[in-house]
Amino acid sequence: MNEISNKRPISNYKFVGQATPRPDGVDKVTGRARYGDDMIVPGMLYAKILRSPHAHAQILSIDTSKAEALKGVKAVMTGADIPTHPLAQPPYPPIIQDFHDLGLNIMARDKALYDGHAVAAVAATSDAIAREALKLIAVDYEVLPFVLDPYKAAQPDAPVLHDDQYTDGTGPDTDKPSNVFRVLGGERGDLEAGFADADVVIERTFTSEPVHQGYIEPMACLATTSEDGGVELWTSTQGHFVARTLLSKLLKMEMAKVWVTASEIGGGFGGKTTLYAEPIAVILSQKTGRPVRATLTRPEVFRATGPAAGSYCRIKMGVKNDGTITAGEADIWYQAGAFKGSPVGRAVETFFSPYNIPNTRAAAYDVCVNRPKVAAYRAPGAPMATFAAEGVLNELAERIGMDPVEIRLKNAVKEGDESLKGHKHGRIGLIEVLEEVKAHPHYKAAIGANQGRGFAVGYWLHGGGLSSASVILQDDGTVSVATGNPDIGGSRSSMRAMAAEELGLDVELVKPIIADTGSVPYSYQTAGSRTTYATGMAVINAARDVIDKLRDIAARKWEIATEDVRWDSGHALPPDARKGDIEPLSLKELAAMATKMGGAVAGHSEINATGQGAAFCAQLVDVEIDPETGFTATKRYTIFQDVGRAISPDYVEGQMQGGAVQGIGWALNEEYIYDAKGCLQNTGFLDYRMPVASDVPMIDTVIVEVPNPNHPYGVRGVGEPPLVSAPAAVANAVENAVGKPMSNLPLSPPKVLKAIEEVAAGN
């Protein structure tokens, strides 16, 4: 950990706010943690998936007979094996897609919609036989014209992916099939008057490319099914309850019969919030009566699992010379991939929300293109919109000669203000974050030749929702904390710390457990930076339930009223009047007594958490450009974030650093390279270049703590805000170094070199 801001509230917490040994640390560094591919059961078959080599093609026929005849092949499936679903809205709005599209994305039925789209799958007694069998499946395709760019795909003459898809009424063409499913927007004030009021108005167009979540562990799962309808699924997922819901609805099964266990997860970043191979493994298991394991390869992950949407954005903002932002207007086209569902709502919320701008309009278009369907990626939809809005704001500040932090302080939202989509802020910490930036040595530090400094602010409204927890007291006084949230970024540690703090028990005696979907009640997935907030609140409630039960035991032992028993630092205490007369009872003593006084002690909580609110993250970055190659090196990086309360500050710091690094990759390097036929060329980490440790400096963190009053410990979401402003900050630094606006991510060496040459040429 680097610095902890002086905004950190003074507290007497013993475990909350402390860095402690990682609950999952040893198992991960010893290779003992079991990921999706680490489960083996007797009789298991291996699944492999055949994928379309075309960006867009009619499937005229599939002949699986030769594959079926291969010795060792136990079953072959095609899209016809996935139940069809009428178009219908899912019950859980966030992330859960329409089941019609979900089924078609998992396996194409009549049309392959992108290079890599699954068209068939086999289950065989070995991985090698399964791979061999794929070669024996004959698919007759009629290749169709394709479109990859969202803005082009939104035009009337573009090839249309779905003949049966009309817009939902918000799009441009409601009377004929369209790639534009939806336009979401928001508006307030009088735009025309706002721009008229401005002294400076800037309009620019920004683009960004799809980027992959880049988790280290490819998707992997193992399905065992039974003739009586039972399904057991082991899978690498950010939410096994959501996987259970999706799977049971997609395959029309009863939820209680679909028993899902989350494997350890090797990264998700939003990308493991939907289904890919799971239904295929389940269907192949049902066909064969045997367990089936399906593990994707890295090329399959790149070709067929959701990246973040690429974007095309037109944006216009105006300021007065005193720095007041008078108006903002933005339109963004998101490439949803082959099926609708890009994060349009989040984009609209993102553009102008850090600032009080009286006159704004934002619109986001959800556009299908012949690419893999996008999935959530850490603050879905926000980094691209922030890249545009913060880019223009920085340029405006420069034009009026105002400090970039000051212009933001002048317009910053605070408690009581309302976002464009109508979220009314509670206590938020944008001003505190900006003050920390101003006070930080990095902000005024000198920069060298060929260097530039960038700055940007990001806004993110977190998720809350359904969470459950059981806090189980063992009779030796140790504790299990069972929740249904996979740990993608430290939730084991934060759950443990909060339970320990409540109970007054050393964290080492508290074991966080990620329980399966049969054993504990529903928790929504680990996504939306929600887990430490929402599931944490359930854990706190459940721990307090345990304390109430222990107070009751002490009361019965002491023959006094339960309400007269206090709980402090792991002990039941008698009322002051009885001090000396009655000895306190420790949690351990009470645990040993409990089973004789009515049964085991456990606390439970099932909640639908609200009040999570927003968080802000500012980033300051210095880059150095190699004028000969256009290569950009990140030299210094400081990230400032209001986390409400850092329950596990070492993990919080890791989240901030990780978000910054993913933003560096997004800004400088990562892009999908398609050939002329619409096929993805860079399907591995060698060609799809994500930053590694040697590519980045140590990322300094400033943890700002403006407690969220709606959470007992003041928690805000932590995971997503660091990515929101990172591409914007890095791009701004490159602009600053190069000396001209840079609007098209990634700012890869050829683009930077071209810009350097343009500047040199006076353009």
**CB under 8 A, 24+ apart: contacts of 128-135:** 129/46, 129/70, 129/71, 129/72, 129/73, 130/45, 130/46, 130/47, 130/48, 130/73, 131/48, 132/70, 133/48, 133/67, 133/70, 133/72, 133/73, 133/76, 134/48, 134/49, 134/50, 134/67
For the CB of residue 95, give the shortest distance to its own copies in the complex, in Å: 15
Do 499 and 647 form a contact (C-beta atoms < 8 A)? no
In the complex, least distance from residue 46 CB atom to its own copies, rounded to whole angstroms:
15
Q: Nearest Cα to 328, choosing from 388, 368, 250, 412?
A: 388
Q: In the 3-class helix/strand/coil scheme, how is 351-392 assigned residue by residue? A: CCCCECCCEEEEEEEEEECCCCCCCCCCCCCHHHHHHHHHHH
Residue with Cβ nearer its own copies (500 or 618): 500
Cβ closer to its own copies: 288 or 669? 288
Work out how close the CB of 688 gets to its own copies at its nearest, in angstroms, rounded to a whole number: 28
Q: Which residues contact 762 (CB under 8 A, 6 or more apart)?
A: none
Task: Determine how many CB atoms are found less than 10 A away from the CB of residue 71.
Answer: 9
Give 330 or 510: the residue with its C-beta nearer to its own copies.
510
Closer CB to its own copies, 304 or 482, in the complex: 482
For 544, residues 6+ apart whose C-beta sits below 8 A from its C-beta are 502, 603
Q: How far apart are CA 575 and CA 51, in angstroms?
A: 70
Q: Are 106 and 99 in contact (CB under 8 A)?
A: no
Cβ of residue 96: shortest distance to its own copies, in angstroms?
12
Query: Considering beta carbons, is residue 19 or 39 the nearer one to its own copies?
Result: 39
In whole angstroms, how far apart are CA 711 and each of 408, 427, 538, 704, 714? 27, 12, 11, 16, 5
- Least Å from the CB of residue 599 to its own copies: 4
C-beta of 478: minimal distance to its own copies in Å? 4
Residue 343 one-letter amino acid: P
Cα angle 590-593-598, degrees, rounded to a multiple of 5? 110
Contact of 180 with 172, CB cutoff 8 Å: yes
Nearer to its own copies among residue 712 and residue 727 (C-beta)? 712
188 forms bridges with which residues in the sheet? 360
Name the minimum Å distance from CB 25 to its own copies: 7
Report the nearest approach of its own copies to the CB of residue 610 (Å).
Answer: 11
Phi-psi map region of 28: left, alpha, beta (phi>0 left; psi -120 to 50 alpha): alpha
Q: How far is the CB of 26 from its own copies (least distance, A)?
A: 4
Q: Residue 161 or residue 550: which is nearer to its own copies going by CB?
A: 550
CB of 389 or CB of 546, closer to its own copies: 546
By beta-carbon proximity to its own copies, the closer residue of 497 and 618 is 497
Chain positions contacting its own copies, by CB under 8 A: 21, 25-27, 30-32, 34, 38-43, 91, 224, 226-228, 230, 245, 248, 254-257, 259, 289, 291, 466-468, 470, 472, 474-476, 478-480, 482, 509-511, 513, 515-523, 592, 595-602, 604-608
Q: Order of strands across the sheet with 614-625?
A: 3-4, 699-704, 632-642, 614-625, 451-461
Q: Which is nearer to its own copies, 9 or 518 (CB)?
A: 518
CB of 80 to its own copies, least distance (A): 25
